[in-house]
Amino acid sequence: MSSTRLPGTPRLLRAINDRAALELLLERGPLTRAQLGELTGLSKVTASQLVERLEERGLVGRVGEQAGGRGPNAALYSVVPTSAFVVGVEIGPEHAVAACADITGTVVGRVQQSTHDTDDPVGVVHNAVIEAARSAKAPISKVRRVVLGTPGLVDPSTGEVAFAFDLPRWQRGLLGALREDLKRPVVFENDVNLAAVAEAYAGSARGVDDFVLLWLGRGVGMAVTLGGRLHRGVSGAAGEIGYAPVVGAPVPRDVTRRSKGGFRELAQADAVRAVAREHGFRAGTAWDAVRAAVDAGTTGGPVLDELARRLSLGLAAACVVLDPAVVVLAGEVSQAGGVALAQRVQHEVAAIAPVSPRVVVSEGPEEPVLLGAVLTALEAARDEVFGSTVDE
């Protein structure tokens, strides 16, 4: 068999080695050239050439020295944090929060502004992104990606917000307007999906490839992660569990995106407060009502039992289809219910379905949607920046 030399192979290998070295520096740096060579399996000469190439690109810089035995100290190298930046934004009906992170993932700027009753969504995002970058002392030209976390459906084929009940002015055409305004790559992502990204990174789903995250707050939402990747579905509606028809709730016909689906009627915040009120726990918010039931011990048990029964109706249907290893309960109602609610939900799902996923409470950060937006932006930015280190 004759051998054929693939064109561009040396360039491809250099690019692979560069990416591996940059990832190592992010994870374990600072490192010397010798350490990089040892960890990547490259020779000293090749490792030195690699470092020089990355220095010329402005991606790696000398940050100190490591004392050795005999001979001169070895230079330590690290990824240059300011080589690129990203901005993640969480958009809600009342406010927008934007965080600017450098390429290492360190958040170096953060701003918050009102979105209440605004007629100018482009202006809201523009100000949030520009001010976040300014607070981080990041030139806007170095912001490689902006990811916006928003409630509602995001169309995977166009990237547009197809519908957001809480943000009626955030409709089709907005993505193009934002990209034109900021002159930067802008991406929309569903907020619950981003919360799942954060949960996999720094929460109860770390190391879990197949899990669902059920968000319980003013509304109801679910994110699906299969094989370590978000599953969005053809129309972006995967995880819209609020529309699931369930026993005990009316089943609307001719469903529109403004319809209140069966499971949502049973599990949203107003329904949770009603359940608590029926058992003598009156409170201004669903969080307060559930927390009061938990704190009441045995007296509050019936409230948690009923909530678990309701939640299991939607979750059992999802889990029979998806068979996840873990169900993460997130959002304010889930946090209020804590382990007491999670244990009841786990028992109920196992009782009515031939699957028994572990049900846990979110251990993610205080702002999971914002973190998920930053992480999603970082992944794309690193692919772009770290994947273009070798000249044609």
**Is the CB of residue 355 less than 8 Å from the CB of residue 319?**
yes
pLDDT of residue 254: 65
d(CA 89, CA 232): 20
Which runs of consecutive H residues, i.e. helices, occur in the chain?
9-28, 33-40, 44-56, 121-135, 174-182, 191-202, 262-267, 269-278, 286-295, 301-322, 332-352, 368-386
pLDDT of residue 392: 47
Whether cis (ω within 30° of 0) applies to the bond prior to 10 is no
- 140 has pLDDT over 50: yes
pLDDT of residue 258: 57
d(CA 158, CA 366): 30
**φ and ψ of 390, to 5 deg:** -115, 130
**φ and ψ of 326, to 5 deg:** -140, 145
pLDDT of residue 293: 97
**Is the CB of residue 107 less than 8 Å from the CB of residue 100?**
yes
Q: How far apart are the first and last CA of the chain?
A: 30
Q: What is the mean pLDDT of residues 299-326?
A: 97
**Alpha-carbon torsion, ordered 236, 132, 364, 231, to 10 deg:** 20
SS3 8: coil
**φ and ψ of 203, to 5 deg:** -140, -150
pLDDT per position as a tens digit, 315-364: 999 999 999 999 999 999 999 999 999 999 999 999 999 999 999 999 98
**Is the CB of residue 346 less than 8 Å from the CB of residue 358?**
yes
d(CA 144, CA 122): 19
d(CA 253, CA 247): 15
Report which of residues 168 and 193 the model is more confident about: 193
pLDDT of residue 64: 86
**Is the CB of residue 85 less than 8 Å from the CB of residue 144?**
yes
Average confidence score pLDDT of the chain = 90
Cβ-based neighbour number of residue 116 at 10 Å: 9
Q: What is the mean pLDDT of residues 106-110?
A: 97
In order of 93, 223, 350, 365, the CA distances from 359 in angstroms are 30, 14, 10, 18
Q: DSSP letter string over 228-250?
A: TEE---SSS-TT-GGG---TTS-
Give the pLDDT band of residue 131 (cuts 50, 70, 90).
very high
**Is the CB of residue 270 less than 8 Å from the CB of residue 220?**
no
d(CA 297, CA 261): 32
d(CA 153, CA 322): 20
Report which of residues 48 and 115 the model is more confident about: 48
pLDDT of residue 217: 87
pLDDT per position as a tens digit, 25-78: 999 979 999 999 999 898 889 999 999 999 999 999 999 888 766 667 889 999
Among candidate residues 334, 196, 343, the one with its CA nearest the CA of residue 268: 334
Global confidence as pTM: 0.91
Q: What is the mean pLDDT of residues 275-280?
A: 96
Among candidate residues 186, 204, 139, 194, the one with its CA nearest the CA of residue 375: 194
